[in-house]
Structure 1
């Protein structure tokens, strides 16, 4: 039997804790070795799919350099009929590191876990809101294409 902290709900709760702690290695460590992260609303020059824990870790490595997430201001988790799947709605708040500008961003994620690890995380966030947060489309594009560091 999977311990409660390694259920899909527990994994989601732990992912938020690690996000706030800026522990991206730990965050990526919640993924199965062959787990997938997808971005259904991805724009051009932005990855639509990351395959494997190592790819998730590489993708998230620079996240704290872009956004200083300071709190999760809202959170609702909906249990799917499949006990290994949840739909999570949440809002993160903090500061843009480069500008010090405050931000709030809403996310919806569909998360599937198996054997105590995330096997699928579909992240429905708005690239338009991301561009606004980072100061414009050029800054947003540079964050994902220049230097290889990115965020989600």
Structure 2
């Protein structure tokens, strides 16, 4: 078990791609039969297969402009990775910034994500310095 404060390169590249509006860069980390779950979300709670995940992430572009991640903490357990991070995003409709705290439990096989359990906090206004 290794704890670190930087995400693995494959996850950094996926997140940077998503922040640039490139859904395919995010999708590159998934196996074809991957499952992405949102245990605390109202709906959808489970996306099965890369096609369903891609459709969901593409639709998110209408409501969220993804931004940077910081306060990253990673616990690498081999085939399973626990990632805590703070995301700084923008509402695509209003232009208002907001933050999300994430906990991702990621399972991989042959270098690709096969299951991602995505626990995120509710949206909250971005912290503003006074």
> Separation in 2 of the partners of 1:90 and 1:121?
15
Per-residue deviation, 1:36: 0.6
Which structure 2 segments of 5+ residues have no match?
A: 1-6, 126-130
The C-alpha deviation readout for 1:8-62, integer Å capped at 9, x for no partner, is 933322222222222112212321110110111122xx11111111110011012
Q: Which residue of 1 aligns with 2:66?
A: 69
Pick the structure with more helix per residue: 1
Which structure 1 segments of 5+ residues have no match?
A: 1-7, 134-152
1:15 pairs with 2:14: yes
* Matched ranges for 1:83-94 at <5 A: 83-94=78-89
What's the secondary structure of 1:61's corresponding residue?
helix
Q: Is the 8 A contact 1:11 1:118 kept in 2?
A: no
Q: Is the 8 A contact 2:13 2:25 kept in 1?
A: no
Q: Which residue of 2 aligns with 1:56?
A: 53
Find 2:100's aligned residue among 86, 102, 105. 105
> Separation in 2 of the partners of 1:84 and 1:11?
14
> Separation in 2 of the partners of 1:92 and 1:42?
17
1:119 pairs with 2:114: yes
> Separation in 2 of the partners of 1:111 and 1:9?
12
CA RMSD between the two structures: 1.8
Q: TM-score, normalised by structure 2?
A: 0.82
